Amino acid sequence: MSQRHRSKNIDNTGFGPNSNVEGGRLVNPDGSNNLRKRGIPIWDRISIYHTLLRMKRSHFMMAILLFYTATNVIFAGIYFAIGVEHLSGIDQSKSVVDEVLAAFFFSSQTLTTVGYGHVAPTGLLTNIVASTESLTGILAFAVVTGLIYGRFSRPRAFLRFSSNMVIAPYKDGKGLMIRLASYKNNHLTEVEAQLTIAMHVNEQGKMATRFYPLPLEIAKINSLALSWTLVHHINEESPLYQFNKEELINNRMEVLVYIKAFDDHFSNTVQQRTSFTHRDLIYGAKFLPMFERSVDGTSTVLELDKINAYELVSIKEISPASI
């Protein structure tokens, strides 16, 4: 099987060659490495800043809400332990639940430095706690504001990839194709693409992972205005030459996609990556067009919901005479 690989194996991908230690795919669809680290405490392994900066928007808002609620619960408990009689303005004739809620809402007003004035601390200890909470609120909201700005202003490529890669007729044979498009109203220029394939092969009774570059027919474009189909011609120089569908599946192929571009809105270089495994391969298919002229004929319409649209076609197989 290894005789078919006419391309030179590369070892600068950052992944090891031992297939026996791999857990599934190498790179997740969102571009993150399929990797878990251990051996040192979790607080040394995880950057809270990077975690909050990269997590989903809904998870980020939930984290802020939980932090805000937990902080108020803690300080409300302290106020209640000191005694609500040290919070002037609270009606102590009400139930314990009402007193706890009053302490909680006083904590909320103090943490946000709103201070309506209806309830005020009395006594040295209560004032110390209220002052500490006010400082905590100022620092916490400064950090949250910075995180929100960082998430908002962080340069991103905003690229959407097709769900599948296809092997379609191309020139006198076939080609591996992946489609992508920019889905925001940003403008990417000097867009470069690089494809690397990981193949799991049996070498002397041991499974090994070998990496091969997949040269593209066009590896760089000046502007990503519409969709871009990355095309690797499967010719005599291709590591995929003379492999049929079953062999590609048995070798558990995974295609790593790296995109680098310049965003003229941010005046910065942006990057995005993803991967496709053999489960994402449609053998004998081609992508359908996803842009057309507008009805009034004054502009071009890019239909992003068609990025995965394809149709099945027949493939001309290469004779295995030289295997």
Give all domains of the chain, ordered by start, each with its CATH number. 2-29+156-322 (2.60.40.1400), 42-153 (1.10.287.70)
Q: What is the DSSP letter of 165?
A: E
The per-residue pLDDT for range 196-253, each reduced to its tens digit, is 998 877 777 777 788 899 999 999 999 999 999 999 999 988 999 888 888 888 888 8
| Residue 212 tokens, joined | 């091969």
The identity of residue 21, as a single letter, is: V
- Inter-residue long-range contacts of 4-7, CB under 8 Å, 24+ positions, other chains counted: 4/239, 4/241, 4/242, 4/243, 4/323, 5/199, 5/210, 5/212, 5/239, 6/236, 6/237, 6/238, 6/239, 6/241, 7/212, 7/213, 7/237, 7/238, 7/239
Q: Which residues of the chain have pLDDT under 50?
A: 1-3, 320-323
- Residue listed under structure tokens 């890019």: 302
- Number of Cβ atoms within 10 Å of the Cβ of 53: 13
∠ CA 190-55-275, rounded to 5°: 50
Sign of the alpha-carbon torsion through 3, 201, 313, 25: negative
Tell me the residue ranges of DSSP E strands in 63-205: 87-88, 120-121, 159-161, 165-170, 173-182, 188-203
Helix (H, G, I), strand (E, B) or coil at 47: coil
The per-residue pLDDT for range 149-169, each reduced to its tens digit, is 988 888 889 999 999 999 999
At residue 320, the pLDDT reads 47
3-state helix, strand, coil in the chain (%, to 5): 35, 30, 35
